[in-house]
Amino acid sequence: MSDYFEIDFLDVESKKSGDAIPLRYSIDGVTRIHVTDGGFQATGDLVVTHINKYYGAPKYIDAVIVTHPDGDHAGGLRKLFDEYEIGELWMLRPWLYADELIDRFSRFTSTDNLSKRLKEIYPNLAALEELAKEHGVKISEPFQGAKVGDFSILAPSKSRYLDLVVESEKTPEATKAEEETLAEAAGQLIKKAINFIKSAWGDEYFPEDDTSPENNMSVIQYACLCDKKVLLTGDAGRAALEEAADFAPNVGLVLPGIDRMQVPHHGSRHNVSTEVLDRWLGTKHGEQPESESFTAIVSAAKEDKDHPRKSVVRAFIHRGAKVISTEGSDKRTGHNAPEREGWGAVTPIPYPEDQED
């Protein structure tokens, strides 16, 4: 069979959106299965069912990647350890760097205590670490420059990752009362009303502030499969995407131009900007193109009314994207991929005539 790839964005249905992305590709007769994130803990069965049905009920998965610690990405991966032999687990564990971080936390004088606290702060990662040890699965660090099969890690660099651990609102420096206050403040921000404004073609409005440090920890992966440039972003924000773009020439990626791109963080406005999208995808078309030049996939649940944001959908379409969402069904993008009964072309998200102010 000719070279092919298929990347599945599963419909993680919950009140909040999540990411679960199994993928399979065959290059020069070598086939690999690679799972990026697994949605919530309850999503694990969906991932297993999908892999068994469409990837030939394999016994072995080459690589599992945790993009960052959030429960809507890491939770569902636990199920994989019971069902498959896993070649490698790729994830970043902040407690491994306690000796490098301790001088940046005034409340800690013991690296053991700092390490313990970091495991408490990031329980999803700690649980996966224990599972990997129990099953004898090697854990590797997906820092910038690493290779996972045909995929290259563009971000984060180790130095920026350590900075983000310190900057995080989950920092070990915070007391429990402070953490509760931050959580309450975050909840209030989520409830803040959004105004929509009618907008002409090409108008783009994004908030000034970037996404959270936790989201900017996201592992960004790139591969050129079947001459198609594929970018998986997790919940990466502007800083992460800029760092990834800076590193792109090191893996032979010339920007702008991507053929398949995961829309970061379910289509949040804080993760992209006009400048970032210009760098990755090129500048806006003067008018709506007659046909799309690349595909952008967003993981968004029907019940999640906040994602994807209209301003983000507009911005991708301004640059020639066919934007598709997982709302209501699993979606697949690929090239030369095996046929699937009942699967066909999908209707893209229409161009929004208004956007968030």
Over residues 211-239, the pLDDT tens digits come to 999 999 999 999 999 999 999 999 999 99
Query: How far, in Å, CA of 140 to CA of 13, rounded?
Result: 30
pLDDT single digits (tens) 229-274: 999 999 999 999 999 999 999 999 999 999 999 999 999 999 999 9
pLDDT, position 31: 97
pLDDT single digits (tens) 89-118: 999 999 999 999 999 999 999 999 999 999
The closest of 327, 203, 208 to 263, measured between CA atoms, is: 327
pLDDT, position 9: 97
Do 315 and 286 meet the contact criterion of CB atoms below 8 Å apart? no
Taking the model in full, what pTM does it have?
A: 0.94
pLDDT, position 185: 46
pLDDT, position 354: 96
Task: Report the DSSP beta bridge partners of residue 268.
Answer: none
Q: Residue 37 pLDDT > 90, yes or no?
A: yes
Confidence of residue 189 (pLDDT cuts 50, 70, 90): very low
pLDDT, position 306: 81
Query: How far, in Å, CA of 90 to CA of 125, rounded?
Result: 11
pLDDT, position 174: 62
pLDDT, position 17: 77
pLDDT, position 71: 65
The mean pLDDT of 292-307, rounded to a whole number, is 89
pLDDT, position 307: 86
Return the top range by mean pLDDT from 67-71, 211-215, 300-304: 211-215
The mean pLDDT of 116-123, rounded to a whole number, is 94
Q: Residue 11 pLDDT > 60, yes or no?
A: yes
Confidence of residue 355 (pLDDT cuts 50, 70, 90): very high
Q: What are phi and psi of 114, to 5 degrees?
A: -65, -45
Task: Give me 36's structure tokens.
Answer: 């990026």
Domains defined along the chain, listed by start: 4-330 (3.60.15.10)
pLDDT single digits (tens) 142-187: 999 999 999 999 999 999 999 999 999 888 876 544 454 444 444 4
Share of the chain above pLDDT 70, in %: 92
| Average pLDDT over all residues of the chain | 92
pLDDT, position 313: 98
Q: Where are the beta strands (DSSP E) in the chain?
A: 4-9, 20-27, 30-38, 60-65, 85-90, 138-140, 147-148, 151-155, 196-198, 220-225, 228-232, 260-262, 294-298, 321-325, 331-335, 354-356
Q: Residue 84 pLDDT > 70, yes or no?
A: yes
> Which residues have C-beta within 8 Å of that of residue 351, sequence separation ≥ 6?
288, 313, 314, 317
The mean pLDDT of 282-290, rounded to a whole number, is 94
Do 63 and 36 meet the contact criterion of CB atoms below 8 Å apart? no
- Do you find a cis peptide bond into 256, omega within 30 degrees of 0? yes
